[in-house]
Chain A
Amino acid sequence: MTMFRKVVIGAGLALSMGAAQAQTAPEGEPIKIGVLHSLSGTMAISETTLKDTVLMLVDRQNKAGGVLGRPLEAVVVDPASDWPLFAEKARELLTVSDVDVIFGAWTSVSRKSVLPVLEELNGLMFYPVQYEGEESSKNVFYTGAAPNQQAIPAVDYMMEELGVEKFALLGTDYVYPRTTNNILASYLGDKGVAEGDIFVNYTPFGQSDWSKIVADVVALGADGKQVGVISTINGDANIGFYKELAAAGVSAEDLPVIAFSVGEEELSGLDTAHLVGHLAAWNYFESADTPENTAFIEEWHAFTGDANRVTNDPMEATMIGFTMWTQAVEKAGTTDVDAVREAMYGQEVPNLTGGTATMLPNHHLTKPVLIGEIRADGQFDIISQTEPVPGDAWTDFLPDSAVLESDWAELDCGMYNIQTKTCIQQKSNY
């Protein structure tokens, strides 16, 4: 980042902080915010962090005078990594606790479980995790990356910067890797990569026996093309994969691996000495060198009372979504879902990595894409940062989706066929 941008942003931050301090303590009926993240079960490790993030933001907002002069109150429920329970708890939040907005969900399945309830009861949810796209709900704002904000730029990076000609798409067998790999295979095809130069493999959750898969990937290099791995391997399974890669003596120079689901949190379960140089693509890295990020990390450490807690991409997405929602409520002057949704379009919040996130009429954000190289200390060296990319709900690289567009502001439609000029449906396809 240039000196100039640093100064401008620093000044902006100082201004906004000054404004915050001028507020008085909030009073009156609290505005309720639902937090729908698993606190137990397999997803607890990831989602608990996001629950804490929302609580921290609520706390910060209340200190700054609340919203509309009223205090915020978080209603935390535990859907326990159980997908049907997500729907049940969402209904409870909207009908029994009467929350005005929900922050929640991590996996695609849990989001799809909540969708019908949100659309039936006209609720509002912010979804903070990178996902496979191919969806647009009137009632959900997607603050994580769509495939064109993570996967596509990452592949471009591999082709242009690393000269990769042959791709191994390794993923855990669930919808995010499946859809992402489908999009990537189609995209690579458009870029002239032959079908035979794309190797795809799906493994179960928690896979631990990686020797054959690693050997298969290494063997791809036999035809003299530079091989790169695009990994959508989820969670724990990464540990065995990287251990096997290291044991096989494969260095990042010979066989670069770019991961979409490996962040600071996941690396803490690993000895990173052998992984140095492998890559990850996100919209945020803890190592981003900006004053906003430093302040955010400090606030996080102070709030959790643990100076070793790492920050990660979905936390930034939660922060952006939360801040935008408070701004939209202030603009609309009410917490009414339809009014807030109208007010959301065009809202701007500074990214922690520099630049500004803008909410688009398709309920996605503009975000920069960052590529990081793993360092020995478990953090990432940011080696590439794009200009902000607008998120695309329907990918341009699958023929069926290329003709679709989402625009809730002008067209009032999440699935609009631009060829036939018809709205295919108002409710989403869960």
Chain B
Amino acid sequence: MRRSTVIFIAALAVFVAVITVMAGAGMISTSFVKTLGMTLCLCLAAVAMDLVWGYAGILSLGHMAFFALGGYMIGMWLMYARTEAIVIEALSGQPLPATPEEIRQGIGNQIFGVIGTSDIPWVWGFAHSLPLQLLLVVLVPGVLAGLFAWLAFRSRVTGVYLSILTQAGTLALALHLFQNDSGLRGNNGLSGLQNLPGVSASQDATSLWLFWASALALAAGYLLAAWVVGGKFGSVIRAIRDDEQRVRFLGYPVEGFKLFVFTLTAVIAAIAGALYYPQAGIINPAEMMPIASIYLAVWVAIGGRGRLYGAVIGAAVVSLLSSWFTGGRAPSIPLGFYTIDWVDWWQVLLGLVFVLVTLLAPRGIGGLFK
């Protein structure tokens, strides 16, 4: 195992221990634990992005769509199971015992009442079962990514064309989910996801559990990614990034390698999303607009491509800074004739930093550690 991997895992373990102790002592609030847990999930998505872009050279502008899909898949079960418990409780007061149809009707009415229907769409067919829906967390984004990648790589769409195509695909998916007819509650999305069905523990406890789960997933994802890029496979995908034609002439099935990396990273992103949204509490299609995926690329670029820890640093630093600056707590800078309000100027600064990093420091923050 490489030294940087060992250091990273050790640092993560220390971080988790410190936060757990601090949360237990009441030194940090539940909402901050949630923020940190969500940041860990974003870091995992950034690791996936680094694998597909930093190592394999495929600039996907759609990985946050897989992230959000993972969230949708777990969110369906969370909503269904929670509502089912409520409906059964409510119907138990009736003189006649409830029939399965009545329960189903009640659930449909509760979940889809806001969009004016009480029919449960077919996409919710597995929502009653946690194992099946967990399987879908992996399967739906995996199959979608595999299909997209197969179509795109087969017809040799590469480079910026592929980026534009992933962006368009993401937009199409987001627009589809924005429709109420998509069956996933349109613009309203899925909400109340922070209430884990069948769990009576308080949010203080559940947010810590999800924080641990996120840390564990990040560690596992990081190790997997380090293992993938460490061996011969890693050499091949780096070679594809540097000169695709040459690798193809050497007899490697380039498309197969790219397809595998694209799909694997989509699944990692989906798992990250499945852990993220129960902490965020709500998911809606705006989460998968192309801009989110572009920000993911921005984080990885700022953190440093081609280094897994760079991606983690970039995602953590930029997303935490973003929420600090836009949270209204960053002090304004009075210039006398004008006051720089960070709520208004943070985006400008971010854009500028991004241009400068791309131009002057292609290795990003991670490059400083070298």
The answer to whether A and B touch in the complex, with CB atoms under 8 Å apart, is yes
CB <8 Å contact, B191 and A112: yes
CB <8 Å contact, B94 and A420: yes
In the assembled complex, the Cα of A181 lies from the Cα of B343 at a distance in Å of: 36
CB <8 Å contact, A173 and B188: no
CB of A270 within 8 A of chain B?
no
Of A14-22, A54-62, A85-93, the stretch lying at the interface with chain B is A85-93
CB of B363 within 8 A of chain A?
no
Of B1-9, B174-182, B257-265, the stretch lying at the interface with chain A is B174-182
CB <8 Å contact, B30 and A112: no
Within 8 Å by CB of B189, from A77, A109, A398, A424, lies A109
CB <8 Å contact, B31 and A78: no
CB of B328 within 8 A of chain A?
yes
Identify which of residues 112-154 in chain B touch chain A, using a CB-to-CB cut-off of 8 Å. Answer: 113-116, 118
Shortest distance between the CB of A233 and any CB in chain B (Å): 14
A 151-194 binary contact with B (CB < 8 Å = 1; else 0)? 00000000000000000000001110011011100000000000
CB of A221 within 8 A of chain B?
no
CB <8 Å contact, B328 and A109: no
Shortest distance between the CB of B191 and any CB in chain A (Å): 5
Shortest distance between the CB of B272 and any CB in chain A (Å): 15
Shortest distance between the CB of A417 and any CB in chain B (Å): 8
CB <8 Å contact, B281 and A204: no
Residues of A within 8 A of B236 (CB): none
Shortest distance between the CB of B79 and any CB in chain A (Å): 9
Residues of B within 8 A of A95 (CB): 29-31
CB of B20 within 8 A of chain A?
no
CB of A313 within 8 A of chain B?
no
Report if A88-B34 is in contact (Cβ < 8 Å); known contacts: A40-B343, A179-B115.
yes
Within 8 Å by CB of B90, from A92, A115, A424, lies A424
In the assembled complex, the Cα of A200 lies from the Cα of B94 at a distance in Å of: 38
How many A residues, CB 8 Å from partner? 47
Identify which of residues 85-119 in chain B touch chain A, using a CB-to-CB cut-off of 8 Å. Answer: 86, 89-90, 93-94, 109-111, 113-116, 118
Identify which of residues 96-132 in chain A touch chain B, using a CB-to-CB cut-off of 8 Å. Answer: 96, 108-109, 112-113, 115-117, 120, 132
Within 8 Å by CB of A91, from B30, B89, B113, B191, lies B30
Given A112-B188, A429-B83, 15 extra CB contacts under 8 A: A76-B328, A83-B282, A84-B280, A84-B281, A88-B281, A91-B203, A113-B282, A117-B281, A173-B186, A174-B178, A175-B186, A181-B116, A202-B179, A400-B113, A422-B93
Residues of B within 8 A of A198 (CB): none
Residues of A within 8 A of B (CB): 39-40, 76-78, 80, 83-85, 87-88, 91-92, 95-96, 108-109, 112-113, 115-117, 120, 132, 134-135, 173-175, 178-179, 181-183, 202, 204, 398, 400-401, 420, 422-425, 427, 429-430
Report if A420-B93 is in contact (Cβ < 8 Å); known contacts: A80-B326, A109-B284, A430-B191.
yes
Q: List 27 A-B contacts (CB under 8 A).
A: A77-B328, A78-B328, A80-B343, A84-B280, A85-B323, A88-B31, A88-B281, A91-B34, A108-B114, A108-B188, A109-B188, A109-B282, A112-B282, A113-B191, A115-B192, A116-B194, A116-B281, A117-B194, A173-B180, A173-B186, A173-B187, A175-B187, A175-B188, A422-B94, A425-B90, A427-B86, A429-B114
Residues of A within 8 A of B90 (CB): 422-425
Residues of B within 8 A of A85 (CB): 323
B 270-297 binary contact with A (CB < 8 Å = 1; else 0)? 0000000000111110110000000000
CB <8 Å contact, A429 and B113: yes
Within 8 Å by CB of B327, from A77, A423, A427, lies A77
Report if A179-B186 is in contact (Cβ < 8 Å); known contacts: A78-B327, A88-B35.
no
CB <8 Å contact, B343 and A134: no
CB of B195 within 8 A of chain A?
yes
CB <8 Å contact, A182 and B192: no
Residues of A within 8 A of B195 (CB): 116, 120
CB <8 Å contact, B31 and A91: yes
Identify which of residues 280-324 in chain B touch chain A, using a CB-to-CB cut-off of 8 Å. Answer: 280-284, 286-287, 323
In the assembled complex, the Cα of A181 lies from the Cα of B180 at a distance in Å of: 13
Shortest distance between the CB of B348 and any CB in chain A (Å): 12
Residues of A within 8 A of B180 (CB): 173, 175, 178, 202
CB <8 Å contact, B114 and A83: no
Residues of B within 8 A of A (CB): 29-31, 34-35, 83, 86, 89-90, 93-94, 109-111, 113-116, 118, 175, 178-180, 185-189, 191-192, 194-195, 203, 280-284, 286-287, 323, 326-328, 343-344
Residues of A within 8 A of B35 (CB): 88
Report if A429-B116 is in contact (Cβ < 8 Å); known contacts: A39-B343, A78-B328, A84-B280.
no
In the assembled complex, the Cα of A132 lies from the Cα of B29 at a distance in Å of: 34
Residues of A within 8 A of B280 (CB): 84, 87-88
Residues of A within 8 A of B283 (CB): 84
Within 8 Å by CB of B31, from A96, A182, A400, A423, lies A96
Return the 3 tightest CB-CB contacts between A and B, nearest first: A182-B116, A174-B187, A84-B280
In the assembled complex, the Cα of A96 lies from the Cα of B116 at a distance in Å of: 37
In the assembled complex, the Cα of A84 lies from the Cα of B279 at a distance in Å of: 9
Shortest distance between the CB of B196 and any CB in chain A (Å): 12
CB <8 Å contact, B178 and A116: no
In the assembled complex, the Cα of A108 lies from the Cα of B115 at a distance in Å of: 12
Shortest distance between the CB of B194 and any CB in chain A (Å): 6
Q: Closest B-chain residue to A181, C-beta based?
A: B116
In the assembled complex, the Cα of A35 lies from the Cα of B280 at a distance in Å of: 20
CB <8 Å contact, A96 and B29: yes
Shortest distance between the CB of A123 and any CB in chain B (Å): 13
In the assembled complex, the Cα of A83 lies from the Cα of B277 at a distance in Å of: 12
Q: Closest B-chain residue to A394, C-beta based?
A: B113
CB <8 Å contact, A204 and B118: no
Q: Closest A-chain residue to B93, C-beta based?
A: A422
CB <8 Å contact, B118 and A400: yes
Report if A132-B187 is in contact (Cβ < 8 Å); known contacts: A109-B282, A116-B281.
no
Residues of B within 8 A of A84 (CB): 280-283, 287
CB <8 Å contact, A175 and B115: yes
Residues of B within 8 A of A116 (CB): 191-192, 194-195, 281
Residues of A within 8 A of B29 (CB): 92, 95-96
Residues of B within 8 A of A108 (CB): 114, 188
Residues of B within 8 A of A40 (CB): 326, 343-344
In the assembled complex, the Cα of A108 lies from the Cα of B110 at a distance in Å of: 16
In the assembled complex, the Cα of A120 lies from the Cα of B205 at a distance in Å of: 14
CB <8 Å contact, A83 and B115: no
In the assembled complex, the Cα of A211 lies from the Cα of B18 at a distance in Å of: 60
Within 8 Å by CB of B203, from A92, A113, A120, A181, lies A120
Shortest distance between the CB of A202 and any CB in chain B (Å): 8
Residues of B within 8 A of A76 (CB): 328
Q: Closest B-chain residue to A112, C-beta based?
A: B191
In the assembled complex, the Cα of A77 lies from the Cα of B113 at a distance in Å of: 31
Q: Closest B-chain residue to A95, C-beta based?
A: B29
In the assembled complex, the Cα of A91 lies from the Cα of B203 at a distance in Å of: 11
